[in-house]
Structure formats: C-alpha cells, structure tokens
C-alpha cells in the first residue's frame, strides 16, 4: 500500500518562492531564463537564511483560473521547480498551482520529487476573485494514488482572498478537510496575502483536529512568529522576508535570518 512520507513540521518555516509571470500569462516577459534566475536567487536567500522548506507558486500569473490551468503553466512551474530541486536537493520542496489546480501541483511534484502540495480549496466551495472555486478532492486523491507520488496535502482552512459560499464554522471546516478530504496538514491564514493570521483562529483549528499538523499561512513576522509557533507546528512565510515588505520584491536574506532567529527563541 502506498505510504505518504511524513515531514517533520515542528517549528518549521516554509519559504515562498513567488514565481514571475509564466508563459501564457498576461504579464509574461518572454524569458524563462529570467524567471528561473529570480526563483533560484530567492530560494538561495531563503535556504541560506535558515528556512527549512520551500514552496513554489505561480504568483505572477494573475488573474488565476478557478479550476484547471493551461498546459503552458504546468510546464513553466515544472521547469522552475526542477531547477530549484536540483540546486537545493536536501530542502523539502512543495508546489502550489493557483488558484486551485491541485492535480497540476501533484503532477509537478511527481515529476521533480516534491514533498508536498498546497491546496487552497480542498473541501467545499468559496467565492473568490475568480468566482466560485470548488473542491476537486475526489480527483486529487485518486491522482495521488495513480501517480504513486509521496506528496503530502497541505489544505487551507478557508483560504486567502476568499470566503465560504455558505457559512461554515472553522472547526467543522477543519474536521471535514481531515476526515473527509484526507488532508495531511492544515493551513490557517489571514484574509489576504501578507495579512496577519489571527492566533484565535489557529487555536480553534488546533482544538478541532489536535493530532493533525497546523501551519500559519500568512502575515507571519519576526515580531509574531514565536507566539504563533507556540500553537502552530510551522508557518509559511513570504511577504515579511521580501525587501520593503513588498511581496513583489526579491527575498532579503537579512530579513530571513531575523525571522528564523525569532522563531528559534524559546
């Protein structure tokens, strides 16, 4: 029977590698070499600054598809992820294909040796800037089985830039993700990229599924990381490690080091 490889998530910081626009997206600049160079530079700053894992995301491709993405997007993410995997072979790598193409993320993970994927809507449905975005957990879990890829599913509880189509209590959403969606870890975020994740929400999810890893998904800073990690198992960091706190800028190694040091304080 296929066994999915567990990652050690205790106080783990996962650094975002926000990709520049990929082929086919509105702001594509025509050079994959430039996209790869920028991604490798960010990944290097994150790893050398002490980050424990990396998460590649097609952040520059806005506006995003509500469902399946184009083949060119999958090819672009794979090309970059393969280079990062080659350069940082010892660092666990994850994939997120926005807005919600978990099947594409699994395919990339299978091709490059990714250890996990992030899924923004793994249960239920939300209203987002893409319209109504729905779960495809049925096919995601079957694809994982058929591909034979040992990639964990990190599922958002609620998710950024979205609200549930109908009101659902946070605790029930967490339980559905784990017990019916078979998610391996849960991600609790604030309302948008770079915005703080309420500690109270993290505690609610933790109490609902105490045996499942819980990650903070947005707004983590050097000032808040220790308190958040007193409840959560880890955090996904992006905006706070960018120059000038601007998510569009390159990663600043000094900011990474300060955040990592703060996370390690008892």
- The three-state secondary structure class of 155 is strand
Give the separation between CA 212 and CA 205, rounded to whole angstroms: 9
Q: Is residue 1 part of a domain?
A: no
Q: Whole-angstrom Cα distance, residue 54 to residue 259?
A: 15
Q: Taking Cα atoms as reference points, which of 181, 132, 193 lies closest to residue 155?
A: 181
| Single pTM value for the model | 0.94
pLDDT at site 8: 63
Q: Provide the 10 A C-beta neighbour count for residue 199.
A: 16
Residues of the chain with pLDDT under 50: 1-3
Q: Output the pLDDT for position 3.
A: 44
pLDDT digits (tens, 9 = 90+) for 207-250: 999 999 999 999 999 999 999 999 999 999 999 999 999 999 99
User: Structural domain tally of the chain?
Assistant: 1
Rg (CA), the chain: 17
Q: Report if residue 3 sits inside a domain.
A: no
Examine residue 89 and state whether it is found in any structural domain, yes or no.
Answer: yes
Distance CA 156, CA 41 (A): 27
Positions of E strands within 45-89: 53-57
Q: What is the CATH number of the domain that holds 70?
A: 3.20.20.70
The parent domain of residue 91 ranges over: 12-264
Q: In this predicted structure, what is the pLDDT of residue 239?
A: 94
The pLDDT assigned to 2 comes to 39
């Amino acid at each position: 029977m296929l066994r999915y490889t567990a990652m050690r998530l205790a106080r783990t910081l996962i650094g975002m590698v926000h990709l520049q626009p990929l082929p086919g997206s509105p702001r594509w600049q025509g050079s994959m070499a430039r996209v790869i160079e920028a991604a490798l530079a960010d990944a290097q700053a994150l790893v050398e600054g002490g980050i424990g894992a990396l998460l590649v995301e097609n952040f520059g491709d806005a506006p995003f598809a509500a469902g399946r993405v184009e083949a060119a997007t999958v090819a672009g993410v794979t090309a970059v992820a393969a280079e990062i995997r080659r350069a940082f072979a010892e660092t666990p790598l994850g994939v997120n294909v926005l807005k919600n193409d978990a099947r594409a993320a699994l395919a990339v993970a299978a091709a490059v040796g990714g250890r996990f994927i992030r899924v923004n809507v793994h249960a239920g449905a939300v209203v987002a800037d893409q319209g109504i975005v729905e779960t495809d957990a049925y096919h995601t879990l079957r694809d994982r089985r058929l591909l034979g890829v040992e990639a964990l599913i990190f599922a958002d509880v609620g998710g950024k830039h979205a609200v549930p189509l109908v009101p659902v209590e946070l605790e029930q959403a967490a339980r559905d993700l784990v017990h019916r969606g078979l998610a391996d870890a849960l991600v609790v975020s604030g309302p948008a990229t770079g915005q703080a994740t309420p500690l109270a929400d993290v505690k609610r999810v933790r109490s609902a599924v105490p045996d499942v890893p819980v990650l903070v998904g947005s707004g983590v800073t050097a000032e808040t990381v220790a308190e958040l990690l007193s409840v959560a198992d880890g955090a996904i960091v992006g905006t706070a490690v960018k120059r000038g706190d601007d998510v569009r800028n390159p990663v600043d190694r000094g900011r990474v080091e300060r955040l990592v040091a703060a996370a390690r304080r008892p």
